[in-house]
A and B are shown apart, each in its own frame.
Chain A
Amino acid sequence: MPEHDLVCFATRGFDSEPWSLDNYLSVGGYRAWQRVLDGELDRAAIIEQVKASGLRGRGGAGFPTGLKHSFMPREAPMQKYLVCNSDESEPGTCHDREILRLNPHSLIEGMAISAYAMGATVAYNYIRGEFIDEPVPRFEAALQEAYDAGWLGKDIRGSGIDVDIHTFVGAGAYICGEETGLLESLEGKPGKPRFKPPFPAQHGLYGAPTTINNTQSLASIPTIILKGPQWFVDVGVEGSSGTAIFSISGHVERPGNYELPLGIPFRKLLEIAGGMLGGRELKAVIPGGSSVPVMPAGNIIDATMDFDAIKAAGSSLGTGAVVVMDETTCMVGMLRRISRFYYAESCGQCTPCREGTGWLYRVLTRVMEGTGTHADLDMLVDVANKIEGHTICALGDAAAWPVQSFLKHFRHEFEYMIDHGGRSIVAAPDAAAA
């Protein structure tokens, strides 16, 4: 893909310090913000452009970003906040780390524009605690550069516009990626998600109107303003505008973060990632992070990578984390690892999730240890169904969907293991038939 089509990775290919302000300026950086500071676009115009671009949130839910911004009472005379969610922790997902490390100014500019559009003078970037060694200092250094160059602060470049951006560092909790859990954490509390309504746009950080957006969503906004919403629409496909960064991991020859137009065929994506590791056969793909339903090879191989197509094929584009599994993968083992994760990360406030995730993990463990029964498989689905939709936040659904989908598509692997005392079908004498 030609370099000029890159949105979030525009400086990534630079040999020397791609994260520097000079490099960012050389690809048109801060020109969109300058236009806003010059008064060329008012708040409503910015939000209209983001709406018209069709940008959908890159953090997993795919909610239209411009619409979310329009929910804020932007002209109301009260303190309002923008919060960036850099608590990247959906298993398989690692592109926000790349934006923070390699192009932090795109995020800063996107945060500044968005904060202004929503009438917020203060913005926080919530970065996960494990990023404390490299992405955090890189982002903080970029913030300092932006302040020193006069792109942030009070009465920026004589415009009368105030925007201050602060870094916040988490301390290890997947649940803080949920936006209201994140707000609790930002207030210095355990990250337990809040009941909604009220939604953050009415009652967010410290009770003030707040919008939370993902890193990649915000980093896309300067380019949308600079090149115009139609440019962004034209890059993608209907219903899925623009580029997205796909984190391709697992059994491929060249795992990596690839920024590509939405709607790219899965076959092409796999080719870009170097094809299957060792030339082995594709068995399954998790197309959007561990929370979304798994797809058997046959369901994804001819699909295109956009919100509508992946939904139609039975899953979700989620975070764009594409986890590729080949024929040697034991699907029971995969599901047990996923279930352990949700069990460990459940915040514990809703009984179906707190208790149910433990049940899922323990039942899957006994299947792997050779003491499972066929009735256990129905119980797994039953427990998952009783978690789904019965919790404050989506972690419950995220724990349920993998169980439902692995059993829907790969039930024979679970049955084989139960019938063979815990032996995986991929370890069978005729494993190639798995």
Chain B
Amino acid sequence: MSARAFTPELSAQVCAEIDRWVGKFPAGRQRSAVLAALHAVQHENGGYLTPELMNAVADYLEMPPIQVYEIATFYSMFETKPVGRHSISVCTNISCMLRGADDIVAHIENRLGIRTGESTPDGRFYLKQEEECLAACCGAPMMMVDHRYYENLTPAAVDEVLDGLD
């Protein structure tokens, strides 16, 4: 039975991407592709997952849906609620904290009029609560915007990045 016929929520592009990942693992170990599948689905859906999309991934990889929900909630890069389309993560871990990360967060909160963990009402920005160190400690303070790293930040540099987004 082909699971594909029953998963119309996944685009051909996403299916091709999942297939590429499944090909890296031994036969019968397609579950290993679940992180990659969720990355692909989330990306195409504007930055967050829905129950329908998670179910479709479960179906496609022949996994129980609960196992996909577990993955989606365990790993911090997956969003299970709607969020703004540009995701901003400011590293506030020790190296960045020592170089003024808290001021960068305050600047962004003021500029966007939201608190960390919230999205702007117009759906443009999501200021994510980032707990991890993002491993760019020698360029502190830093932030990640839509997966891109910006290092040695100042409030002016932050403004320049955010002004450049649609």
Contact = CB atoms under 8 A, between A and B. Distances in A.
Interface of A: 79, 88-94, 96-97, 124, 128-134, 166-174, 185-191, 206, 247-251, 255-257, 286, 290, 321, 323, 325, 329, 333-334, 337-338, 340-341, 344-345, 347
Contacts of B71: 171, 188-190
B96 to A, nearest CB: 8
Nearest to A185: B35
Nearest to A176: B75
Interface string B21-48: 0001010010111111011000000000
B77 A93 contact: no
Given A91-B95, A249-B95, A329-B98, A169 B136 contact: no
Interface stretch (B113-121, B141-149, B154-162): B141-149
A95 to B, nearest CB: 9
B94 A171 contact: no
B75 A249 contact: no
Given A171-B39, A340-B131, A247 B93 contact: no
B3 interface: no
B35 A188 contact: yes
Contacts of B39: 129, 132, 169, 171
Contact of A93 (B32, B33, B135): B135
A333 B92 CA distance: 12
Interface residues of B, number: 42
11 contacts: A91-B137, A131-B135, A169-B35, A169-B36, A171-B78, A173-B74, A186-B32, A189-B31, A249-B98, A341-B132, A344-B132
A345 B93 CA distance: 13
A170 B138 contact: no
Contacts of A329: 98
A96 to B, nearest CB: 8
B16 interface: no
B138 A251 contact: no
B93 A341 contact: yes
Interface string B68-81: 00110011111000
A188 B32 contact: yes
Given A91-B94, A168-B24, A171-B77, A255 B137 contact: yes
Given A169-B36, A188-B32, A345 B132 contact: yes
B131 A171 contact: no
A206 B25 CA distance: 10
Given A129-B75, A187-B29, A89 B35 contact: no
A52 B155 CA distance: 51
B38 A171 contact: yes
Contacts of B34: 188
B133 interface: yes
Nearest to A96: B135
A329 B95 CA distance: 12
B56 interface: no
A130 B75 CA distance: 11
B61 to A, nearest CB: 8
Contact of B132 (A92, A169, A174, A337): A174
A60 to B, nearest CB: 13
Given A173-B75, A206-B26, A250-B98, A321 B35 contact: no
Contact of A130 (B78, B95, B147): B147
